[in-house]
Structure 1
Amino acid sequence: MASQKLGHIFTKIVFKLLRTNLFYIVLTIIFLGFGKPFIYGQSVPKKNTSNKVSTQDQNTNSNASAKKNDTIKVKSILEGKVKYRAKKYEKFDQKKKLITLHDQAELYYLDYELKAGVIVFDYEKNEVYAGRLKDSMGNYTQIPYFKQGSSVIEPDSIRFNYKTKKALVWNSRTSQQELNIKAHLSKKENDSVYFMKGARLTTAKDIEDPEYFFYVRKMKFVPGKKVVIGTTNMYIENVPTPIALPFAFFPITEKSHSGIIPPSYGQNNTRGYALQNGGYYFALSDKYDLEVLGDYYTNGSYATRFQSSYANRYKYNGSINIRFENLINSERGYPDYSKTKIYNIQWSHTKDAKSNPNSRFSASVNLGSSQYFQQSINLANIGSTLNNTMSSSVSYSKTFNCVPQVNFSLAATHSQNTNTKQINMTLPTFQGSVDRIYPFVPKNGIKKGFIKNINLQYSVRGENQMQTTDDYFFKKEMFDNARSGFQHTIPLSTNFKIFKHFSVSSSFNYNEVWALQTIKRSMDFATYKVVDTKVNGFDSYRTYSVSNSVGTTIYGTFNFGKDKKIQSIRHVMRPAISHTYVPGYAKYYDSYESDRIYAKATGLPVESIYTQYSRFEGSIGGAPNKYYSNNIGFSLSNTFEAKVRDKDSTKTEPKKIMLLNNFNLSTSYDATADSLRWSPMRLSGGTLLFKQKMNVNFAATLDPYALNKAKTGRINTFNIDEGGSLFRMTAANMTINYTLASSKDDKKKKNVQGSKNGGREDDLFGSNDELNTPKDSDTKSEEDDDGFSGFYNAKIPWDLNLAYSITCSNNFNERKIASNSLMISANTDLTPKWKIGVSTGYDFVRKGVTFTQIRLNRDLLSWNMSFNWNPFGTNSYWGFFIGIKAGVLKDIKWDKRTQPDRTLR
């Protein structure tokens, strides 16, 4: 009886015809009322009066192979309902108070979830047992899966007391973020503390056969908080290494915590030994943090870095990076001793457009010492080293949704040339505008014709311009040389069509400039230098100009027949003629005595030797035109397209190919000039060849005028009249970019990491990564190996990028090739885990190899290994890196690299 289920227990009662005898009636009543406290029948009573066990939802399925899902509730013993099911059988023993489940067993109680091959639930002792099953081959299957809240354990077997919260676990397997743990014996003390013995810690995905692990003899594990370990040895491929720790602490949490960042050891040939990238991490809040890092060298050089990231969901996010370095070369007292201070500030900020559609704030700042990226002691960013500009912009704009719409913005901009150390800055720049107004458009809103298309706008721009160098950046001299002013612009324009095919546009532009500083120019005859004296005070000037243009589109098709390989060629021409009239404003020009010595030598009166200038030179709007101009411009753009017979005979329609994407010609004629009225003709074009793999662009400048006999300048005589050609080519250039790859899917993704510090987005100049070390996303995971199963696919993915550039200079018939270079970048996957890349080039003018880099990367599953080598040049160096990918163990690495052999400037 005890080995059967409650629902299968039946009490057989044989009914006989009762005699009308009082004795038997009384005996039956006594037996039924006081004889046995439990009687089981075929019908389950609606209410069970038992104070021990009550069964609910007992469903019997006639199919023995179907799963059963039962729920029981034991009063005064269990704290909630117990749900269970199993594939093979479910056994409920009321006397022993045991529930036994076999084969694909599942048990759910409170917040516990247990799945295993065998489960025994002893609700009298408040214990649960779970273990594995053996299959027909003798292998263990159905490993227990135990989950409480968010904590998951997968042991070989488990014994758990749900009252005391204690448990014994054999060969437990658990994952905490990136850390996988397997322990021979684990003891669960309570809901939040585990003690483990003989544990393995690793970030490898295969916990049973990891490529590396840390063997821990004793460990305390608090899920979601921390792991504290005792004596630990590192094993690689199950081979012990001499790397050992007496103890260690691993914080495991989804929230950031403040803590010390241990430094790494380094060495520099000129500055000695060093501790690098050590400091402290401040977890200030969920919205922002701060990381303080530093380097120190034994010769006294040091560096500090402050890095902070911040974010407010659906509002904004950004980061700040401030770097300062005090560099000491050689030793005090030696002739090559020097001391330099360099810095760099980077700030990026992005505002979520959904937070407020009518206002925007953004920042992209990169400023500092011009030589920072060339001299930094802890930075090897090749892209930034080769770049010679830094720029910044911080702006705020707002839109007022009225009729007409009004916009305004405030911005601060910065542009810095790292070669000349010249800095141009605007602090601030104000811009305001009123949206376009059509005063003659009727209520139906149709704009058609000359009158109805008349529109006008208004815009104002105010700037405070400063020009300085590194030495005076943000010092008094920088602000003393500032120039401020406003520029107002009102364009009035319209457009219409004539003769159905010609588009005409006409505009009248009014411009007014307010200057808060002007200049007064004079000649210092003691030194013979021009001196500009700054004059503070309000001054202004007003100008206007008129422009008109007319253009059309002409289509031409040349048919050769459908039986030809080239069936037709389509030529599209877009000619345009423009006219611009700008009056002269000589009244805004003054003069100064410029050359007294020349006047005395020639016998001319001193008063007649003067040079004119405008006091508005350098203002926000620049100086107005001194002489009026009446300029007529001509331009012609062309595109050529062909229809060719498709090689695929099953296709009936011809294939379209582009012969020339563009072929443009432009020139102008100044009717008011006294000589050289025609400007040089500018010719440019481009096309795609070889199935759009080769991009070819070319440009040339053609001058119609001849040179003087000394070949030092142009004369007002056409070149053809001097016995030459119609045009004289003064400059030409061509660029060719060619990309080859094993297939379209094998093309490499370009590295854009260095672009934030000013590098190229391709790899023609090598890797742009700041430390030239691989990131987690650089290497494919095991699941991305296209089902690799022991034999390498004969198809090796590769790509090849070629870039060729040539520039010719012929202004004075020197026929000189100014630049002529070829750059090559190649990448390939030798195996699914080995990647190699090469970037190099050759300069045919200087006859030397350009920047060269060799890149090698090995995916070691849980590890990454890379080697970068720049064999020669001013940036020659090599770097080797090997480290664990996972962020929780990112400090376990070896990074060895030499500083580039740079010349301090």
Structure 2
Amino acid sequence: MQTNIPNSLFCLVFTLFFSLVLYPQEVETSSIPVEAEKDSIAPAIDSEEIVQQLQQQDTIKKDSVRKPQFLTDIVNYTAKDYMRLSPKDSKMYLYNEAKIVYGDMTIEAGLIIIDNEKNEVYAYGIQDSADTYSQTPIFTQAQRKVEPDSIRFNFDTQRALVYNSRTQEAEFNVKGMVTKRENDSVYFMKNVRFTTSDDIDDPDYFFYARRIKFVPDKKIVAGLVNMYIADVPTPLGLPFGYFPLTDEETSGFIIPSFGDSQFGYNLQNGGYYFAISDYVDLLTLGSYYTNGSYTLEFSSNYAKRYKYRGNARVRYEKLFNSERGFPDFSERSSYNIQWSHSQDAKANPTSRFSASVNLGSSEYYAESINQSNTGNYLNNTLSSSVSYSKTFPGEPQVNLSLAARHSQNTRTQQVNLSLPTLQLSMSRIYPFAPKGGAKNGIIQNINFQYSLRGENQINTVDSLFFKPEMFDAARLGAQHSIPISTNFKIFKFLSVSTGTSYEETWVSKTFERSYDPVLDDVVIDTIGGFDSYRTYNFNASIGTTLYGLKNFGKDKKIQAIRHVMRPSISYNINPAFDRFYDTYERDDLTTEDQIELVDYSRFDGTLYGAPGRNFSSSIGLSLSNTFEAKVRDKDSTAVEPKKITLLNNFSLSTSYNLAGDSLKLSPISVRGSIPIVKNKLDINFGGSLDPYALDNNNRRIDKLNIENGGSLFRLTSGSVNFGYSFSSKDFEGGDEVEDDELDNETLRNGGRPDDLFGKGMGQDGELFDEDPFEGKEEENESSFYNYAIPWDVRLAYSMNYTNRTRQSEISAHSIMFNGNVELAPKWQVGVSSGYDLVNNGVTPTQLRFQRDLDSWLMSFSWVPFGNRKSWNFLIRIKSSVLSDIKYDKRRNPDRRL
């Protein structure tokens, strides 16, 4: 029976009992007749009877308890079915959806009993008609929730006894048979299970402790701890345990993994993690092998919201092959430095700092112990850039940038550095433009700019990197450029642009050359000091846009085709600057007792090279074509026809040198793309057509190929390539997720952003996207029957043709693919592979398998063949709190020092 009890009932009851039990006090009140009952739960009181009794007292209106000496706050209560008072036992009974609120503490249960003699509250669940135990207690305090089978709470001491409690702290779910609450910050528990599994009553695994001390938001300190998997005890145990519970990062030791490899038995990736602040951390790792090899690594992540974020890593490896004294003994040191920094666009609109650094030993990715990323191994170039840019608003606007750049070829071990590069540019200035309105005519459109580029360039080799000798061949220079141009219309349809450019080049040293007859060689003397030269040129171009349209009728499937042509003619003059050239004498190699004069420029070998010596006057021709069509839309409700592109940007370009004495016509360059699937697949093609013939030595001669008995043009080179990616999301309207360079290890290192060479792997063998099931719905009984299989596929095709000297060969021809499919809920397999059609071999291949085991994650990756043949098996707890609890077994690729 449900009743609505006025709020004054509880205040009246507690006032009466405090006066009778706790201390004498005269209170004028009307007594409530209650029959004597046994020590049991009394039947519910009729709601009309309670209303009649409460009408006798009109001084108490609120649902609260007058504050006695032991209470520090107001006690509020509610119940759905009834609230019964037992004066003999000094108890209050609340039944069905009962609730008590005392300060920041809330107790909810099916049955709540308030004992006024002991100042305690008891909370229990109730049994429904189906004998199901429901409405179990819920104890909430300070946003912490505990769900036990029963509760006993004392108002005086603020202590509680909780039976079969269930609570969640950080990533742990904790269940204790008996819990003693000392205060808000300390709990003692007996016979405790704690796990990161979502199902605390039937977990995949749990840690069992006889007794623990539980400090919310801080730690769990346990005595003897055993690990159970699927309710089966394991020999894994500790005499004591310490488990941090904070959501914030805390400092602590990193447990190393044990194993053996070609370097001997080892302890890998052990160290210490420093939680320096909320903005930056530091991870130190090290590995040691019984043959003496060792590695050291320092990595740090930092971030400040709306400002910047980034990470840095330094790794050093000292590797020994075999043992000292053996004939095959060798040693090698390698290192790698990585740094990525990105600035939030909202941090500063006028200045920006960014960094992307990847430098180190050329052999690092081939020999590193903990590097299993095939994409990194196949990348031949390491590059770095650290730049700062600043914009000075105004008229004209000035842009300033300062950068340090690095490029390193891991095959040739050549290193190119630019330390630093200074660039300064000024926006266009129109000196004759009107103050308001559009610019018209040749005069009003005259404009000029100014730019400065200064560099200190260093070319060295890997063995001299970071050594003083690397600066011996440094080249310093600066180049000023002032382009002047204008544009105008002719006959309303022809767009004409013309201009000239003035450049001044400064260098810090030049090179004098002379011939030494004793050494029979050219001697180069370096002349230090400032030197410069100035160049200029002239250019003009004229172009227009032509449209052609052919209509077939609205009743046709193809209703119309449109052809857009953009022809352009350009003219360029580059004067000869032979005044910057000198000569030296040497013996003529073809005729005895003769002297040969050799021309050279003292600016040869400087940063920007020597100015051009030969006069050039050339005409450039180009034609760009686009073919589009209007077709009937397959959607019958569509009003307008659909526009599609048949051929996009099909361009032809060449040039003719008027000042040349032979071979005046340049090869014709052909470029274009064919759209196949809108915004998904474009086939890109290109080629070069040479009009001149070859002699018997396969050298170009000043004779047209058609006059030599051949075709009009010779196809000297060609290429076709495309990339296509599609997935189940394309048919579901899902959005593609873009790669973040800070999170993609292969992309950070200069490789491909996709997984065509396989997914990258971390130091312990885990795949970089180790949890592909994160955020997906839980598996249920009917999942296998209504499951939509997610999948994704990426294809890449490339073909290059070469025929410059009649070799007529395909120099490169390959197709690669990467695919992932989730065969069933929480089961995913993937493969990355391809085929090289030129060498008739399979490209680097990786097979992957991943299984979500709820609380655990299992993965297996395998490179079945090639010089990177390896495999790795890993099973670990998904929770980051227990990430060190794992089992991994692997076979690393062979390292050859």
Output the TM-score relative to the length of structure 2: 0.90
1:290-335 deviations in whole A, cap 9, x for unaligned? Answer: 2111000000000000112223343333222110000100111222
CA distance in 2, matches of 1:529, 1:220: 85
The amino acid of 2:704's aligned partner reads F
**1:201, distance to aligned residue in structure 2 (A):** 1.3
Q: Judging changes above 3 Å, is the alpha-carbon distance between structure 1 residues 96 and 436 closer, same or farther for their aligned structure 2 residues?
A: farther
* Kept after mapping to 1: 8 A contact 2:122/2:153: yes
Q: Judging changes above 3 Å, is the alpha-carbon distance between structure 1 residues 307 and 651 closer, same or farther for their aligned structure 2 residues?
A: closer
Within a 5 Å distance, the mapping from 1:352-371 to structure 2 comes to 352-371=344-363
* Kept after mapping to 2: 8 A contact 1:629/1:671: yes
CA distance in 2, matches of 1:467, 1:689: 45
Q: Does 1:422 align with 2:414?
A: yes
Identity of counterpart residues, as a percentage?
Answer: 53
**1:515, distance to aligned residue in structure 2 (A):** 0.5
**1:750, distance to aligned residue in structure 2 (A):** 7.8
Residue of 856, 861, 877 corresponding to 1:863: 856
Q: Judging changes above 3 Å, is the alpha-carbon distance between structure 1 residues 548 and 239 closer, same or farther for their aligned structure 2 residues?
A: same
Q: Does 1:350 align with 2:342?
A: yes
Aligned residue in 1 for 2:667: 680
The amino acid of 1:388's aligned partner reads N
Aligned residue in 1 for 2:287: 295
CA distance in 2, matches of 1:123, 1:314: 56
The amino acid of 2:506's aligned partner reads W
Gaps of 5+ in 1: 12-34, 43-59, 63-67
Aligned residue in 1 for 2:547: 555
CA distance in 2, matches of 1:797, 1:311: 34
CA distance in 2, matches of 1:574, 1:556: 12
CA distance in 1, matches of 2:674, 2:381: 30
The amino acid of 1:425's aligned partner reads L
Residue of 737, 751, 776 corresponding to 2:723: 737
Q: Judging changes above 3 Å, is the alpha-carbon distance between structure 1 residues 230 and 678 closer, same or farther for their aligned structure 2 residues?
A: same
Q: Does 1:627 align with 2:614?
A: yes
* Kept after mapping to 2: 8 A contact 1:5/1:91: no
The amino acid of 1:708's aligned partner reads D
Aligned residue in 1 for 2:43: none
**1:247, distance to aligned residue in structure 2 (A):** 1.7
Q: Does 1:412 align with 2:398?
A: no
The amino acid of 2:144's aligned partner reads S
Aligned residue in 1 for 2:689: 702
**1:99, distance to aligned residue in structure 2 (A):** 4.6
Aligned residue in 2 for 1:448: 440
Aligned residue in 1 for 2:195: 202
1:488-546 deviations in whole A, cap 9, x for unaligned? Answer: 11111222222112222222211111101222234566666555433210000111112
* Kept after mapping to 1: 8 A contact 2:718/2:800: yes
Residue of 206, 225, 243 corresponding to 1:250: 243
Within a 5 Å distance, the mapping from 1:112-123 to structure 2 comes to 112-122=105-115
CA distance in 1, matches of 2:155, 2:29: 33
Aligned residue in 2 for 1:655: 642
CA distance in 2, matches of 1:359, 1:653: 47
CA distance in 1, matches of 2:70, 2:557: 91
Aligned residue in 2 for 1:602: 591
* Kept after mapping to 1: 8 A contact 2:334/2:364: yes
Aligned residue in 1 for 2:871: 878
* Kept after mapping to 2: 8 A contact 1:781/1:861: no
**1:97, distance to aligned residue in structure 2 (A):** 6.0
Residue of 818, 823, 842 corresponding to 1:825: 818
CA distance in 1, matches of 2:62, 2:148: 24
**1:374, distance to aligned residue in structure 2 (A):** 0.9
Within a 5 Å distance, the mapping from 1:208-227 to structure 2 comes to 208-227=201-220
Two-structure CA RMSD over aligned residues (Å): 2.8
CA distance in 2, matches of 1:494, 1:483: 36
* Kept after mapping to 1: 8 A contact 2:259/2:266: yes
Residue of 508, 530, 536 corresponding to 1:544: 536
Q: Does 1:689 align with 2:707?
A: no
**1:61, distance to aligned residue in structure 2 (A):** 10
The amino acid of 2:461's aligned partner reads T
* Kept after mapping to 2: 8 A contact 1:874/1:902: no
Residue of 703, 714, 719 corresponding to 2:700: 714
The amino acid of 2:878's aligned partner reads K
**1:235, distance to aligned residue in structure 2 (A):** 1.8
* Kept after mapping to 1: 8 A contact 2:160/2:180: yes
Q: Does 1:813 align with 2:800?
A: no
**1:395, distance to aligned residue in structure 2 (A):** 1.4
Aligned residue in 1 for 2:323: 331
Q: Judging changes above 3 Å, is the alpha-carbon distance between structure 1 residues 554 and 61 closer, same or farther for their aligned structure 2 residues?
A: farther
Residue of 455, 458, 478 corresponding to 2:450: 458
* Kept after mapping to 2: 8 A contact 1:258/1:281: yes
Aligned residue in 1 for 2:42: none
CA distance in 2, matches of 1:510, 1:624: 13
CA distance in 2, matches of 1:809, 1:6: 94
Q: Does 1:187 align with 2:180?
A: yes
* Kept after mapping to 2: 8 A contact 1:69/1:84: no
CA distance in 1, matches of 2:710, 2:175: 87
Within a 5 Å distance, the mapping from 1:756-771 to structure 2 comes to 756-771=748-763
CA distance in 1, matches of 2:714, 2:517: 43
* Kept after mapping to 2: 8 A contact 1:69/1:85: no
Aligned length: 850
Aligned residue in 2 for 1:127: 120
Q: Does 1:309 align with 2:309?
A: no
**1:853, distance to aligned residue in structure 2 (A):** 1.1
State the SS of the aligned residue for 1:778.
Answer: coil
* Kept after mapping to 2: 8 A contact 1:382/1:759: no
Gaps of 5+ in 2: 13-24, 33-49, 53-60
More displaced, 834-843 or 537-546? 834-843
CA distance in 1, matches of 2:787, 2:101: 51
* Kept after mapping to 1: 8 A contact 2:71/2:155: no
CA distance in 2, matches of 1:387, 1:36: 92
Q: Judging changes above 3 Å, is the alpha-carbon distance between structure 1 residues 148 and 742 closer, same or farther for their aligned structure 2 residues?
A: closer
CA distance in 1, matches of 2:677, 2:513: 60
The amino acid of 2:296's aligned partner reads T
CA distance in 2, matches of 1:900, 1:146: 55
More displaced, 663-672 or 564-573? 564-573
Q: Does 1:845 align with 2:838?
A: yes
**1:76, distance to aligned residue in structure 2 (A):** 2.7
**1:7, distance to aligned residue in structure 2 (A):** 4.8
CA distance in 2, matches of 1:683, 1:837: 38
CA distance in 2, matches of 1:775, 1:467: 35
Q: Does 1:437 align with 2:426?
A: no
**1:78, distance to aligned residue in structure 2 (A):** 1.6
State the SS of the aligned residue for 1:477.
Answer: helix
State the SS of the aligned residue for 1:432.
Answer: strand
Output the TM-score relative to the length of structure 1: 0.89
The amino acid of 2:646's aligned partner reads L
Within a 5 Å distance, the mapping from 1:234-245 to structure 2 comes to 234-245=227-238
CA distance in 2, matches of 1:496, 1:61: 96
**1:471, distance to aligned residue in structure 2 (A):** 0.6
Aligned residue in 1 for 2:39: none
Residue of 32, 38, 49 corresponding to 2:28: 38
Q: Judging changes above 3 Å, is the alpha-carbon distance between structure 1 residues 610 and 205 closer, same or farther for their aligned structure 2 residues?
A: farther
CA distance in 2, matches of 1:465, 1:496: 41
The amino acid of 2:459's aligned partner reads Q
